[in-house]
Each structure stands twice: as C-alpha cells, then as structure tokens.
Amino acid sequence: MAMQQRQLGSFSVSAIGLGCMNFCHAYGAPVSEEQALRVLRTALDSGVTLFDTAALYGFGASETLVGKALASQRSRFTLASKCGMQGVDVAGNGKQVRVIDGRPATIKATCEDSLRRLQTDVIDLYYLHRWDKQVPIEDSVGALSDLVREGKIRSIGLSEVSAATLRRAHAVHPIAALQTEYSLWTRNPEIAVLDACRELGVAFVAFSPVARGFLCGFSDLGSLHAQDIRRAMPRFSPENYAANLKLMPAYNDIAQEVGCTPAQLALAWLLHQGDDIIPIPGTTSEAHLKDDLGAAGVLLDDDVLARLDALINQRTVVGNRYTEQSESEVDTERF
C-alpha cells in the first residue's frame, strides 16, 4: 500500500517520517554504521520521504550518517535538520558538551557544517532546535531568513516553542513547521500551540510519538543503558513508571481489539488528530520501522479514539516529561 502524503510547507511528505536521533544519541550506545545505513535506506525504499536529523545528534554523527546513506538519492526525500543546539568544546579538551546558542553568526556557521555533513547544497527544512532565550527570537529567525535568501535552506521550522513565540517568529518569516513532543501521554501541544499552527498554516511535526518507547510495550527500566536520557526523566523514575505501567493492560487490549500493534495504535491516534500532523518515530531496527509505517493503514473509529483519550492523558500519566533543568530550556506551554 502506498504511503499517505501530508503537506509540510511547500513539500508533500510521507504521513510518517523518520526521526534520526536514535542511531547515535540519547538512548544508549550507538548502533553500527552498517545498521544505521541499512535502516535509513530501508525507510526510503519503504516510502518514507521525510528524514529529520540535527547538528546535536551525536554531535554531527547523525547528519553524517544521513548524508552517507541518502545523498545519492537526494531528490527522493525532504531533508530536515536543526541548529541552535549543538556540541561545543567549551573546555578545550576535545570533549563536546551540549550548548544552546541562537546567535545569528552561530546559526549560519552551524548550517555550513550541516550542509557538509549531509553532503547537500540545500536543506529543505531547517529548524531552530531550541530558542536561545538570551537572543530575541526575531534575531534567530532573521538569520534563518538570510539562509533562505542565500539558497542554503528552503524553509524554516521551530522546535519546542510556545504559541506566542511562534507568532513572533512567523511575523519575521513564514514558519513551515513546528516540532515538539506529542503523543497520548504528552498533550502539551493541545494547550495552545497546535491551534496557533492551524491559524497560521504551520505543519505540526510530532517527535517521541510512541512516548519514548512506553507505548511500544517497553517495561524493563533495568535494561536501560547507563547513558540513556530516560533514566533522568521523571516519568521513568521507578515509582512513577510503575504507576504508568498500570495504564498498559487496557491500552494493549484496545490494540488487540483494533488488530494492530501497540506502536501502531499510538501513531494511528496521532494521525487521526489532524491531517496537518506528521509523526516522526525513531528506531534502529528494520522490523520496528516496518511496524511503525504500518500505522498509516490503521483506521480508528470515534469510540476507540474517545477511549484512548480517556485512558492516557495529562491527568492519568504520572510525572513531568522533563526535569526542571530541561523544562527551563524549552518554551512550550505546561499544564
């Protein structure tokens, strides 16, 4: 079955894209280059036409993998990357640390590095990964607008910003897409920013659409790698996670009733929230990739959607999505 298409700015893209963070960042030890390249190429051959990476992921390693895997097929897909949060050797000891920096000069320098790693002369959608609150959003978006005029990027996106910040940015240059976390267990976009996107004609790209693995049936906290970012997330603390797991039997029953996998149910729920929503699950497994893409063919009736909404939402999930430090770095609305 051909993949559904959705509009993202001037681009028509697959209804489900691929987030490329997992190959080398955040969830433990990186997979082999061979495995990453295989998953990326399988995704393209399976109908995925939106690939989402960032300068931050693996401090450039993810962009390098995407470039190596897909540069020869550049005309077949829409390429998204991000600036404004990257690795910097602050101490001068060769070790990079994550830094949020939205200054125009930094944005432009980061873009040059990304173009080189991605082996392309233009990035289709370039996001400000985080709004640097020390820099007016107008200045950062102004720099991105310069890159559009120079032909180095084709459109501008924002990540993890509020409705108010989106409107300020959009007044400087049209914003093609806004990306933030959205799933059954993270409903923050429903407060205001999703409505703002629709008011302005901005596509909404949902990252962590399967709740960082929670809605795929993951249950063993002890199996997490020592460097897995979920270890520090409040929802994955032992006490909170035990409470959240109590939601899963009823959720799995609904998936069985519908005739799909738990991951497909989570993605199908998102696809049913509006045709302007594009989830970008990430995976290092070809089997999981194909499972995710199968969600495009899952139809949910109003009764199932209502039951899912009532079962997993901001009132039934225990714990914040981020630590207080991470919350301070984003601009999204909070319940």
What distances in angstroms separate CA 155 from CA 121, 199, 262, 291, one per listed residue? Answer: 14, 18, 34, 30
CA angle 53, 54, 58 (to 5 degrees): 100
Q: State how beta strands 97-100 and 123-128 pair.
A: unpaired
Catalytic residues: 57
| 31 contacts 23 by C-beta, under 8 angstroms | yes
Residue 84: which of 62, 58, 56 has the closest Cα? Answer: 56
Burial of 97 (0-12, 13-18, 19+ CB in 10 A): exposed
What are φ and ψ of residue 256, in 5° steps? -65, -40
Tell me, letter by letter, the H, E, C secondary structure of 25-39: CCCCCCCCHHHHHHH
CA angle 7, 261, 273 (to 5 degrees): 35
Q: Distance (Å, rounded) from C-alpha 284 to C-alpha 70? A: 16
| 211 contacts 194 by C-beta, under 8 angstroms | no
CA angle 292, 296, 297 (to 5 degrees): 115
* DSSP alpha helix (H) spans, the chain: 33-45, 61-70, 104-118, 137-149, 163-172, 193-200, 238-245, 248-258, 262-271, 286-293, 302-311, 324-329
Q: What is the residue type of 215?
A: L
